[in-house]
Amino acid sequence: MDAYAYDVLDVPAEAGFAVLDRFPSAESTGPVALRGRRMQFLVAPGGAEELPGLLDWLEWSGIPLDLVPLNGREAACHHYASVWLRPPGPEGCLPALSLAAGAAGVGLAALVSALANACHRVRLLRYVPDQPCSFSYASRMVAGTRPRSLTS
């Protein structure tokens, strides 16, 4: 693969593993590398530039996600000492924005949506690891606090 023929979406490894569980085949995510505590999802050139617009369109703008876009040279510089979790395949298998209905694999929008969701979940769980993510009746019952509607 050419050194600058891809961009990278860099996320915490915890979030990356959650996305790999969600998309179990290599065709669905494209190449993925692990570098320390960060995971790097390789996407088609221009994907890093599209990230802010995609996050805005997906209604994630303004929320700190720890989802870092790296393009061209930045991606190549940050790729040393990485271990391939899903090695690169033939050219043209990188997630990209596409309108083609029969396009193979997951598109860039679906990948960014999954990464944003996983990054946000990791961020929430880091700050309050023992608190449920939702405040439903069930989670409040588990926490030992009964909702008012059940106490009267």
If you average pLDDT over residues 69-97, what whole number do you get?
75
Q: Is the pLDDT of residue 46 over 70?
A: yes
Instruction: Kindly tell me if the per-residue pLDDT of 150 is higher than 70.
Output: no
* Helix segments in 39-146, DSSP class H: 47-57, 72-77, 108-127, 137-142
pLDDT band at 40 (very low <50, low <70, confident <90, very high): very high
Distance (Å, whole) CA 93 – CA 73: 20
